[in-house]
Amino acid sequence: MKEEKCRYCGKVLNKEECHEFDGKVMCKACLDEMTSICAHCGERLWNDENSGTGDFVLCQRCYDNHYTTCERCGHIIHYDAALYFDDEDYPYCGSCYDVLTKNEIIHDYNYKPEPIFYGKDNMYLGVELEIERGGESSDNAQRILDVANSQAEHMYIKHDGSIEDGFEMVTHPMSLDYHKSEMPWQKIFDKALDMGYRSHKTSTCGLHIHVSRDALGPDHDAQEETIARIVYFVEAHWNELLKFSRRREANIMRWASRYGIAEDTKATYDKAKKGSFNRYVCVNLQNYNTVEFRIFRGTLKYETFIATLQLVHDICDKAISATDKDFESMCWSDFVKGISKEDKPEQEG
């Protein structure tokens, strides 16, 4: 009898010890380690072909034909068990559906109310600030909203699957002056910190700033030219902005990767628009009404927060009034001369 060996570990096998899968002979230990059984149809598959989870293995065919993924928690659910809200196409498991039905404080990730604009400047800034470690608690969320919305409906709170044990605070659009003088950010941060929340001292939390497209030019063409200069500026001064963002490079490339600079402003913007990019980029262009800056690490420090808003405002303001050549020749030191000392962020521990 011809001697058989396991293709993967090299163990010599007798007839009873031989197991064949996908044309390959292996021992029982390697078979168990490298393959799994589909929970729906019972067929064996390689582990890297698992379309389910480690605890619930599915082949691609069974997943496509019988299962979907909960929009909120990411758990796999059978089509027959998926629940939907009347105005949405997103599936939810029973647990998440119950939470969202009963919870009017922490909204689903896709929740988007009609915007309310605060302040007189037409350059409105909307903030998304992620916090965690204090719990995804409706009671805690309400305590923060009681502070934020004591004078007006400034903020709402959303679930975010990328956050561990926390949630995302989202503001309506506000002018920079309104953020500084009317929005009670210091009290919000103090309340969040008192309840154990953190933002900078986490591995995932970000501070995302939306700028209204209408503020970037009188018509679509002018807005596109301004946005092109914004994208070029971020790419040209990536190293300086990386320090300003307070993120590590590996972390920023996961949540806010760069497009890559080209020979000039127009070419860089063309590259950004034509490339296969998702929303996890430094300047997210996928929103219809806003341009989103995603490069900044979260913070619950007032001075750092306001300095970040100021930086975004200054970049956009200069992009509106400058030419492409101005931006292509501008060095970082020339740009920061226009930022006052109190608007520059301090390093956080």
CA separation for the pair 270, 221 (Å, rounded):
14
Token digits of residue 33: 């380690």
pLDDT tens profile 218-257: 999 999 999 999 999 999 999 999 888 888 877 777 777 8
What residues have CB less than 8 Å from 95, skipping those under 6 apart? 73
The pTM (predicted TM-score) of the whole model is 0.71
Which uninterrupted H or E stretch holds 304? helix 302-321
What pLDDT shows up at residue 199? 94
CA separation for the pair 248, 235 (Å, rounded):
16
Residue 37, pLDDT > 70, answer yes
Query: Which residue carries 């027959």 as its tokens?
Result: 80
**Are 73 and 161 contacting, i.e. CB atoms less than 8 angstroms apart?**
yes
The one-letter code for the residue type at 211 is: V
pLDDT tens profile 7-21: 999 999 988 889 999
Q: What is the DSSP letter of 159?
A: -
Pairing of strands 12-13, 19-21: unpaired
φ/ψ of residue 281, rounded to 5: -130, 165
Q: What is the mean pLDDT of residues 317-334?
A: 91
Q: What is the mean pLDDT of residues 96-110?
A: 77
Neighbours of 268 (CB within 10 A): 23
Pairing of strands 283-284, 290-297: antiparallel
CA angle 29, 30, 33 (to 5 degrees): 90
